[in-house]
Amino acid sequence: TGTAGGTRPPLVLVHGIGLDLHLWDLVVDVLAVDRQVIRYDLFGHGRSDDPPGPRSIDDFVSQCLGVLAATTIEDTAGRTPDLAGLSLGAMVALAVGARHPKTVGRLVAMNAVFDRTADQVEGPRARLALTAAEGMGPVADLAIARWFTIDWQVEHPERAAVVDERIRSTDLDGYLKAYGLFVEGDPSMPAAAARITAPTLALTGERDTGSTPAMSRAIASAVVDGQSRVLSGLGHLPPIEAPESWSAALLEFLDRPNQP
């Protein structure tokens, strides 16, 4: 979306588990006013392939690097793209930033898990087991209840229904492999965060109980040049819950002049 010759560097967006590139439908036009925006489906999601075997963070990093390289080539000025990911997408973005720092201009880790305790992993591990036993239906119900307040669902029933349908339609095998990785986390973190040199924003919602404000603050402290921001009243999917305020927060960071 947008033109390869925009005034700002390109932006690559990486979605979370059980979703697809349509996570960004409500925000992409605003983001693409003066930049090219590239969104893609993670392996096992949307229209992407689900390569055989277990899924590792290396798989998703390699996939993302391919998108970043193609984006740099396509940009008329050859600029290094900015990279923003949400949830599992944030885990991928942080891994790319740590392992391949020259491929990323600015980095945004949205609603990211980081340095979780054993207790904080118990919930995701239980949901993984539930999905393996009963399929996508129960985890879709749990996600909608966890991500959105009842009041928000009443006010935006069509948005809640779209998210629910996307989760239910996700390929079960692809979901289980990705969620297994999400539960175990990136084994190089949190130590590898110190190698992230790109200006980094860790952004989450005030109500996100799985990707907490404390985790975002920890990311901002762990990287070389980090800051954190918490969106008041929001949960795990701010681009769906409040696209206007989420877009404003993202663009404020991406469009900020570089420090001398």
Quickly list DSSP for 47-100: TS---SS---HHHHHHHHHHHHHHHHHHSTT-PPPEEEEETHHHHHHHHHHHH-
pLDDT of 77 strictly over 90: no
| Span 196-220, pLDDT tens digits | 999 999 999 999 999 999 999 999 9
Using alpha carbons, select from 30, 27, 28, 34 the residue that is nearest to residue 5: 34
pLDDT of residue 74: 86
**CATH code for residues 11-116+184-254:** 3.40.50.1820
pLDDT at residue 72, as a whole number: 87
Tell me what pLDDT residue 75 has.
85
Q: What is the pLDDT of residue 245?
A: 96
Measured distance CA(109)–CA(25) in Å, rounded: 19
Per-residue pLDDT, 181: 95
Residue 2: per-residue pLDDT: 54
Average pLDDT, the chain: 95
* pTM across the whole model: 0.95
Q: Pick from 55, 27, 26, 31: which is nearest to 43 by CA?
A: 55
| Spatial separation of the C-alpha atoms in residues 189 and 185, rounded to whole Å | 8
pLDDT of residue 4: 58
pLDDT of residue 28 exceeding 80, the answer is yes
182/251 Cα distance (integer angstroms):
27
10 — pLDDT class (breaks 50, 70, 90): very high
Find the mean pLDDT for residues 78-94.
96
The answer to whether residue 1 scores a pLDDT higher than 80 is no
Where do the domains of the chain lie? Answer: 11-116+184-254
- Determine the Cα–Cα distance for residues 77 and 175; give it in Å rounded to an integer: 37
Query: Contact, 239 vs 24, CB < 8 A?
Result: yes
Q: Tokens representing 204?
A: 């989450």
| pLDDT tens column, 143-200 | 999 999 999 999 999 999 999 999 999 999 999 999 999 999 999 999 999 999 999 9
Averaged pLDDT, 225-251? 97
Q: What's the burial of 60, exposed, middle or buried (CB within 10 Å: 0-12/13-18/19+)?
A: buried
User: Lowest-pLDDT range, 2-11, 30-39, 61-70, 243-252?
Assistant: 2-11
